[in-house]
Amino acid sequence: MEYTRQLDDLEKRFEALTSQMADPAVINDPDAYRKTAKAHSELEEVVTHYRQWKKLNQDLRDARAMTAESDAELRQMAADEVARLEPELARLEQELRILLLPKDPNDEKNVVLEIRAGAGGDEASLFAAEVFRMYSRFAENHKWRVEVTSTSESSAGGLKEVLALVSGDKVYSKMKFESGVHRVQRVPVTEQQGRVHTSTITVAVMPEADEVEIAIDPKDIRIDTFCSSGPGGQSVNTTYSAVRITHLPTNMVVSCQDEKSQIKNRAKAMRVLRSRLYEMELEKQQAAIGAERRSMVGTGDRSEKIRTYNFPQNRVTDHRIGLTLHQLDAVMDGRLEPLIDALTANAQAELLKQ
């Protein structure tokens, strides 16, 4: 296998990190131990696969050698073993190639999720609410935390807009292909003649930036407070707990009124502002790199139609990879794995071609 030298180096690095984690000097230094444990964890999967590959490779060599035995029964047993081991070794090699692909530095991050109703009026807002529920169920299945930052409801009971922070294990790696235009085809509840209507919503998934990556000068922001509206008990319309932050250089505005505490609302709004500024920087970098480095499953641009949800046919189609599933009910209940796994596999396959 062409990556053997690289894998040998990674295995040596993994063994060195294992020793460091047992070093009293590292154990007694929380920062050093945390960094060492993180680096160890990042290498563990690829090293485990490599060790399995080495054992299988040795077993296959031994089995092939036995096919030259004089005993016919032994030769047959060896041939059966070769037939069993060859596809298993090929599978491990493919998994190792994928594990060695360059990692997206944002994959471990939490995300800021924005969903906005597009064309279709009330029907679009109703679908926006359903898609937010879909992602909330998906997050629940993965034991992620969803914190709503702000919402704007429609007169029909849907959502014109919802903004939420989703935190947990490798959230961005699972949700990064969801940005774009999502189209719904169904008969609205207000339709008298049974005609299928088409509406759209936009979804944006932004990796959450920390303070080190995006430093915001206090002089560059203006913070306004106002009375929150909507459900919330006694504090609604009585205390100035809601926060609006304006980033003066970009004129970007972020509001948060989900919490009763002004301090908590300010902290949430700053998380969203940092992530939006981080996304702007990522877009600048991608534009500078050029077309050949655009995402293998679309640009992630909010104007790009990525998926259609057809309710009469219980069908969902992802247009980027041409995948159609007749299990829309399951998808809307948060079981997005068939779509996300296919998108991830497609992106990995394109990277392997390079």
State which residues form the domain around 245.
218-287
d(CA 200, CA 184): 6
Phi, psi of 205 (to 5 degrees): -120, 115
Q: How confident is the model at residue 239 (pLDDT cuts 50, 70, 90)?
A: low
- Strands (E) in the chain, as ranges, are 111-117, 145-153, 159-167, 180-186, 197-207, 221-226, 242-247, 252-256, 305-310, 315-318, 323-325
Per-residue confidence (pLDDT) for residue 287, from 0 to 100: 65
- Shared domain check, 156 and 224: no
Whether residue 82 is found in the same domain as residue 155: no
Tokens of 213: 């990556």
What pLDDT shows up at residue 202?
93
pLDDT for the residue 38 = 87
| CATH at residue 188 | 3.30.70.1660
Examine the fold and report which residue of 74, 99, 124 is the final residue of a domain before the chain moves on: 99
pLDDT tens-digit profile of 309-349? Answer: 999 999 999 999 999 999 999 999 999 999 999 999 999 98
Q: Are residues 77 and 141 in the same domain?
A: no
20 with 152, same domain?
Answer: no
Instruction: Write the Ramachandran bin of 120: left for phi over 0, alpha for psi from -120 to 50, otherwise beta.
Output: left
Q: Are residues 40 and 85 in the same domain?
A: yes
Q: How many domains does the chain have?
A: 3
3-state secondary structure of 258: coil
Based on the domain organization, do 208 and 309 belong to the same domain?
yes
Residues 83, 11 share a domain: yes
pTM confidence score: 0.73
pLDDT above 70 coverage of the chain, percent: 88
Angle made by CA atoms 323, 325, 329, in degrees to the nearest 5 = 140
Q: Computed from CA positions of residues 289, 292, 296, 299, in that sequence, does the dihedral angle turn out positive or negative?
A: positive
Q: Does 222 share its domain with 208?
A: no
Question: In this predicted model, what pLDDT tens digit does every residue of 159-178 receive, in sequence order?
Answer: 999 999 999 999 999 999 99
Q: Is the pLDDT of residue 215 over 70?
A: yes
Check residue 279 and give its pLDDT: 81
- Residue labelled with tokens 């497609």: 346
Query: Of the residues 68, 99, 130, which one is the last residue of a structural domain?
Result: 99
Among candidates 270, 161, 290, which has minimal Cα distance to 218? 270
8 Å CB contact between 243 and 223: yes
What CATH number did the domain enclosing 66 receive? Answer: 1.20.58
In a domain, 306, yes or no: yes
- Record the tokens describing residue 120, joined without a space: 């279709």
Mean of all residue pLDDT scores within the chain: 86
pLDDT given for residue 101 in this prediction: 87
- Pick the closest to residue 258 from 271, 269, 273 (CA basis): 269
Phi-psi label, residue 80: left if phi above 0, alpha if psi -120 to 50, beta otherwise: alpha
The residue ranking higher by pLDDT, 295 or 219, is: 219
Instruction: Tell whether 128 and 56 lie within a shared domain.
Output: no
Residues 93, 124 within the same domain: no
Boundary (domain end) residue, out of 266, 287, 308 = 287
DSSP code of 21? H
105 is a domain residue: no
Residue 178 CA to residue 337 CA, distance in Å, equals 12
CB proximity list for 118: less than 8 A, separation 6 or greater: 124, 181, 199, 200, 201, 202
Q: Which pair of structure tokens corresponds to residue 43?
A: 């290498």
Whether residue 197 is contained in a domain is answered as: yes
106, part of any domain: no
185 token code pair: 């085809």
Residue 104 falls inside a structural domain? no
Average pLDDT over every residue of 20-36? 92
Please give the structure tokens belonging to residue 153.
Answer: 């409801």
pLDDT, position 229: 63
Residue 321: inside a domain, yes or no? yes
The pLDDT confidence band at residue 182, using thresholds 50, 70 and 90, is very high
Whether residues 275 and 341 fall in one domain: no
| CATH number where 275 lies | 3.30.160.20
* Any domain includes 16: yes
**Segment (H or E) for 272:** helix 262-289
pLDDT tens per residue, range 105-147: 888 889 989 999 998 888 999 999 999 999 999 999 999 999 9
Instruction: Identify whether 171 is part of a domain.
Output: yes
- Considering the domain architecture, whether residues 228 and 246 belong to the same structural domain is answered as yes
pLDDT of residue 171: 94
Residue 324's CB: how many other CB atoms inside 10 A?
A: 12
pLDDT at residue 233 tops 70: no
The C-alpha atoms of residue 247 and residue 267 are separated, in whole angstroms, by: 15
- pLDDT at residue number 212: 56
